[in-house]
Amino acid sequence: MLLKQAFSAPHISLRRSCAAWLLCAVFCGTEVCTAQKKPAPKTEPDVLVLVNGDTLHGKFVRSVSNKVTFHTDALGNITVPWKKIRELHTVGSYAVLKSKTEMHSKMRQGAVPAGTLDMTNQTITLQPPQAPAVPPIPVKQAQYVVSSATLAREATRRTGVFSGWSGAATAGATMVAATQKQYTFSGGISLVRAEPSVTWLARRNRTAVNFSASFGKITQPAYLDTTTNTMVPAQVTKTAIYHADAERDQYFSTRFFALVQTAFDHNFSQNLDLQQIYGGGIGWTAIKTPSQEADLKATTQYAKQVFLSGAPGSNQNLVGSTFSANYTLNLPLLSYSQSLAFIPAYNNPHAYSLSEVNTLAFPAYKNLSFSIGTQDSYLNNPPVSLPPTQRNSFQFTMGITFAIKPRY
């Protein structure tokens, strides 16, 4: 009995010790988990006081061209002019830019005043962390006020090859099955990537890629002409128009930029198998607002024209230019774009061409829009062929457009 008790006592003590350690581990683990699940403490909201005394609590987003954007949970984003604001107090750090050209690189980033923002009497005061306050800035001189984090990201970000693209993709089709069989397809995609992507910083560069296609076919089946008792062979009428171009713009000021471009065209209706263009030049942004932009461009280029049929020597190597104008307008209920181009050849004055493209889109649902467009091209020097080739080619299209949003 004594021997049994001697061996049993340590065993009981060991079990009690293990149970104690287990309870301690469970208790401590529960405390750790509880601590991890605790939500992060909420920061104090920004405060905006209007001249009529109304006070809003939320988040100051930005100020562009003397218009302040403020976010509240109840109202969402609201836009208020500075002149209607009595006071503004923020918790986060914000930077004030007096113009787009104030900062072009990371080296200039430290020269931009930044800190917590207070606005009273139409004057902005910034308090940098662990530094003296910045001299007061009148709101009329503060063209852009943005968060310091956003400024650092947009001023120094370099997007990858497949990032930052925005644009639209359009498609439309027609099919007829009757005495004649007919189908037509038209579509295109336009992509643009600009750095930086925001309007409150001076643009450094822009890349654009475009592709459009229109293909149609009408088939008249073979039939027996009973009046002459002869078989009429089947007839096929085809249309095929393809266009692709790419352009790279490098800005050396807010309005002027250098560019290189290339373009490829195929137009079965104009007897044009392939036209290739490679060139470079300069451009000027004549109009630049949040809703519209107009660019004028001039290039010097090499062009090669290859035709489907014609007399020997019809294919040409040309030295010329492209004088073009591009205009875009974006409104809440519609968007419009127009492109005009005149392409002369200096070593053959008769080998010139013109083109015009118009697109009008109406928002329908989320990223989808209903679009209509026209494309008119004129080629002055198609070779003589049968049937006779028309110099002008015009097409009208309707379709559905899908807006492509940039991703980073």
Q: Is the pLDDT of residue 152 over 60?
A: yes
Which of 38-42, 168-172, 231-235 is predicted least confidently?
A: 38-42
pLDDT of residue 11: 46
Owner of token pair 């200096």: 346
Given this model, what pLDDT does residue 1 score?
41
- C-alpha distances in Å from residue 357, one per residue of 331, 340, 377, 398, 401: 19, 7, 9, 13, 16
Q: Which pLDDT belongs to residue 199? A: 75
Domains of the chain: residue spans and CATH: 46-156 (no CATH), 166-404 (2.40.160.40)
Is the pTM for the entire model greater than 0.85? no
Taking 60 as the threshold, does the pLDDT of residue 7 lie above it? no
Taking only the tens place, the pLDDT of each residue in 84-119 is 999 999 999 999 988 765 555 444 555 688 899 999
For residue 229, pLDDT beyond 60: yes
pLDDT at residue 72, as a whole number: 93
Statement: residue 30 has pLDDT above 50 = no
Instruction: Tell me how crowded residue 385 is: count the other CB atoms within 10 A of its CB.
Output: 14
pLDDT tens string 259-270: 999 999 999 988
Burial 342-357 (b: 16+ CB within 10 A, else e): ebbbeebeebbbebeb
Distances in whole angstroms, Cα of residue 32 to Cα of each of 23, 40, 163, 380: 14, 15, 40, 80
Q: What was the pLDDT predicted at 108?
A: 53
Q: Are 236 and 267 in contact (CB under 8 A)?
A: no
What's the token pair of residue 391?
């110099």
Span 285-301, pLDDT tens digits: 999 887 899 999 999 99
pLDDT at 28 > cutoff 60 = no
Rounded mean pLDDT of 306-334? 90
Q: For residue 180, what are the contacts with CB-CB under 8 A and spacing of at least 6? A: 218, 219, 220, 221
Residue 370 pLDDT: 95
pLDDT at residue 249, as a whole number: 97
DSSP classification of residue 345: B
184-224 confidence digits (pLDDT tens)? 999 999 999 988 887 778 888 999 999 999 999 988 888 88
Whether 4 shows a pLDDT value over 70: the answer reads no
Name the residue with tokens 């001249």. 51
Find, among 62, 67, 46, 120, the residue nearest to 94 by Cα: 62
- Cis, peptide link before residue 136, omega less than 30° from 0: no
Give the model confidence (pLDDT) of 239-264 as tens digits.
899 999 999 999 998 899 999 999 99
Burial of 289 (0-12, 13-18, 19+ CB in 10 A): exposed
Q: Is the pLDDT of residue 345 over 70?
A: yes
* Mean pLDDT calculated for residue range 57-78: 91
- C-alpha torsion angle, residues 17, 18, 20, 21 (rounded to 10): 120
Q: Please answer whether residues 95 and 114 qualify as being in contact, where contact means their C-beta atoms are separated by less than 8 angstroms.
A: yes
pLDDT at 63 over 50: yes
Look up residue 312 and give its two tokens: 């020997």
Q: What is the DSSP string of 106-117?
A: GGGGGGS-EEEE
Please report, rounded to a whole number, the percentage of residues in the chain having pLDDT higher than 70: 85
Decide if pLDDT at 37 tops 70.
no
**In angstroms, rounded to a whole number, what is the distance separating the alpha carbons of residues 256 and 155?**
20
Residue 149's pLDDT is 86
> What is the distance between the alpha carbons of residues 304 and 202, in angstroms, rounded to a whole number?
36
Looking at residue 22, its pLDDT comes to 43
